[in-house]
Amino acid sequence: MKATIWHNNRCSNSRGALALLQEAGADVEVINYLDNPPTAAQLRTLLDAMGMPARDLLRNKEAAYAELGLAAKLEDEAALVEAMSQHPTLINRPIVRTAKGTALCRPPETVLSLIG
């Protein structure tokens, strides 16, 4: 089984989801999204696949959230997606995609529904 994970190694949820994928024997493509940020179009595709509005993927405790005034833009999908593509620390993680679907895997055990 193939899987893609948008991963941050400093995040315990991300490390946990990756470990579960590896334990399941998945062929995992790891994208370190802080080093290789998704474009706005790629983010939009991921959000659409998850059936999630951008505000639900947004990390509101990051400095960039306040600096960019995103609290006032929570209904502006395009602005939030653009902010996350320009400031990838704003993206919640891990996002995992398999043939069974795409999900934000918080808690990491959420990934089990994508590999079972």
Cβ atoms of residues 114 and 101 within 8 Å: yes
Question: Does residue 11 have an active-site annotation?
Answer: yes
Please give the average per-residue pLDDT across 54-71, as a whole number.
97
CATH of 1-33+93-116, one of 3.40.190.10, 1.10.260.40, 2.130.10.10, 3.40.30.10: 3.40.30.10
* Residue from 4, 11, 54, 87 carrying the catalytic annotation: 11
Tens-digit pLDDT profile for residues 12-53: 999 999 999 999 999 999 999 999 999 999 999 999 999 999
Residue 116 pLDDT class (50, 70, 90 cuts): confident
Cβ atoms of residues 22 and 28 within 8 Å: yes
Instruction: Look up residue 83 and give its DSSP letter.
Output: H
Specify the pairing of strand 101-104 against strand 95-98.
antiparallel
Distance separating the N- and C-terminal Cα atoms of the chain: 10
Q: What is the pTM of this model?
A: 0.95
The torsion of the CA quartet 44, 77, 48, 111, rounded to 10 degrees, works out to: 90
> Domain residue spans in the chain?
1-33+93-116, 47-91
Tens-digit pLDDT profile for residues 83-103: 999 999 999 999 999 999 999
